[in-house]
């Protein structure tokens, strides 16, 4: 299992759908979250993309010196930049970060946002463009290790003598991630991607996706890795966790929910439609669990107003760890998590859940090989006893 966190470049808060408890989206705050994720032992961080976010590439580059091991999952946006230019950006970021780059293909799902960026192609055509983009991007990076040029003549994109003089550190290129739920998305993943990411759907739905893409990839003689994007709300007890879920929506009103759901309905993203179907716009402030717990401990309340990932695992540490292991048993390797507020929740999840995850993950966490006491010394003399949770490796 590889666990990543999230940099909230579109803003952060203690409550959804309100300015109350909100935090400014500043570089200092992003850096705090990145340093926390790095020091706590997260594999990396996802940096989102879109007009509501700060640029993922620039922010990733600015966080290199503030971190030591943290990997940066940054976005490729076909149609916004040329693939050869993006290949150079990828290689440069990989080189100056010491090989800490992961790349996330994002085709886009909001026509209004895409038109604002100058992209007017249909959903199906965007995937054809993405396939051509990836071919050029990947071949340019692969051939850079031998200094070979590359020609390509496609419907949407053409290059002649594309060449990269400074290759990336990771061979043949930094790993490619991608998420999408449409027929076109599954086929593109099977043909060209390294890791397929799903949003947090119930285990049966995730299993069906994994099976479908695995079968498609086999027809191309390929294998993929899989991952999931989820929010987490974990507390010492289950009751506390569900109260925290209720607090997250405690300043939300029906008008805000209705406006958000109307906007989601205008998008052509199949994944966004599936997220909206999970919550159905149901909002009962007196009982946020009712109708929104779509599988054990899987709560669709976040998606009432948040686009993209709209579900959270809610429960005590053992419950959340068990749900993650359940997804892992389906073949998932990467777990990209987040929680509100992101700084505190990064610490909370690492403290409560990391000790319950597989031993291989625990052994890679920072500080585990250091000698000395763990925790605050009692009365200037006594080392606190080790808790059962800290030593379990179930």
192 belongs to a structural domain: yes
pLDDT digits (tens, 9 = 90+) for 212-237: 999 999 999 999 999 999 999 999 99
In the block, tokens 């990733």 appear at 60
Report the C-alpha gap between 216 and 213 in whole angstroms.
5
Global confidence as pTM: 0.90
Whether the per-residue pLDDT at 274 is higher than 80: the answer is yes
Does residue 254 form part of some domain? yes
Binned at pLDDT 50, 70 and 90, residue 38 comes out as very high
pLDDT digits (tens, 9 = 90+) for 94-144: 999 999 999 999 887 677 777 776 777 777 888 899 999 999 999 999 999
- Residue 379 falls within a domain, yes or no? no
Tens digit of pLDDT for each residue in 282-306?
Answer: 888 889 999 999 999 999 999 999 8
Q: Which residues, at least 6 apart from 95, have a Cβ–Cβ distance to it below 8 Å?
A: 166, 168, 169
CA 72/CA 76 separation, integer angstroms: 13
**280 and 47 Cβ atoms separated by less than 8 Å:** no
Q: Which helix (H) or strand (E) holds 195?
A: strand 195-199
**Tally of domains within the chain:** 1
Identify whether the C-beta of residue 352 lies closer than 8 Å to the C-beta of residue 236.
Answer: yes
Residue 378 lies in a domain: no
Per DSSP bridges, beta strands 176-178 and 12-13 are: unpaired
| Residue 191 placed within a domain | yes
- Domain range holding 127? 2-366
What is the C-alpha separation between 170 and 100, in angstroms, rounded?
9
Residue 338 domain-assigned (yes or no): yes
Tens of pLDDT, residues 191-201:
999 999 999 99
Is residue 236 included in any domain, yes or no? Answer: yes
Q: Which of 210, 245, 280, 308 is nearest to 6 (CA)?
A: 308
Tell me the mean pLDDT in the region 167-176.
96
Give me the CATH number covering residue 161: 3.20.20.30
What does the block give as tokens for 202?
């119930």
Q: Is residue 393 part of a domain?
A: no
Hey, is 305 helix, strand or coil? coil
């Amino acid at each position: 299992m590889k666990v990543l966190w999230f940099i909230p470049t579109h803003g952060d808060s203690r409550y959804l759908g309100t300015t109350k408890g909100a935090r400014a989206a500043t570089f200092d705050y992003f850096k705090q979250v990145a340093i926390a994720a790095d020091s706590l032992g997260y594999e990396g961080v996802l940096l989102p993309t879109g007009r509501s976010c700060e640029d993922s590439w620039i922010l990733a580059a600015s966080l290199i010196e503030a971190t030591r091991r943290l990997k940066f999952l940054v976005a490729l946006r076909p149609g916004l930049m040329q693939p050869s230019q993006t290949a150079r950006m990828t290689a440069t970021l990989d080189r100056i970060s010491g090989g800490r780059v992961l790349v996330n293909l994002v085709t886009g799902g909001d026509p209004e946002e895409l038109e604002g960026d100058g992209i007017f192609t249909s959903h199906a055509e965007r995937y054809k463009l993405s396939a051509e983009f990836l071919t050029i991007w990947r071949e340019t990076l692969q051939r850079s290790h031998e200094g070979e040029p590359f020609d390509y003549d496609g419907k949407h994109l053409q290059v002649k003598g594309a060449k990269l003089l400074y290759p990336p550190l990771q061979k043949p290129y930094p790993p490619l991630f991608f998420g999408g739920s449409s027929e076109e998305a599954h086929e593109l993943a099977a043909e060209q991607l390294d890791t397929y990411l799903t949003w947090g759907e119930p285990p049966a739905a995730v299993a069906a996706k994994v099976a479908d893409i695995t079968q498609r990839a086999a027809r191309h003689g390929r294998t993929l890795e899989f991952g999931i994007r989820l929010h987490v709300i974990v507390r010492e007890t289950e009751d506390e966790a569900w109260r925290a879920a209720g607090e997250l929506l405690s300043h939300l009103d029906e008008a805000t929910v209705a406006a958000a759901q109307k906007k989601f309905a205008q998008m052509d993203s199949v994944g966004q439609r599936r997220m909206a179907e999970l919550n159905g716009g149901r909002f009962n402030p007196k009982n946020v669990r009712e109708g929104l717990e779509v599988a054990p401990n899987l709560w669709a309340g976040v998606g009432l107003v948040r686009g993209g990932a709209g579900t959270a695992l809610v429960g005590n540490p053992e419950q959340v760890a068990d749900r993650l292991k359940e997804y892992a048993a389906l073949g998932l390797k990467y777990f990209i998590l987040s929680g509100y507020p992101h700084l505190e929740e990064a610490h909370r999840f690492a403290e409560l859940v990391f000790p319950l995850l597989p031993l291989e993950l625990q052994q890679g966490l920072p500080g585990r090989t250091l000698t000395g006491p763990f925790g605050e010394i009692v009365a200037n003399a006594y080392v606190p006893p080790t808790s059962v949770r800290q030593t379990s490796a179930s």
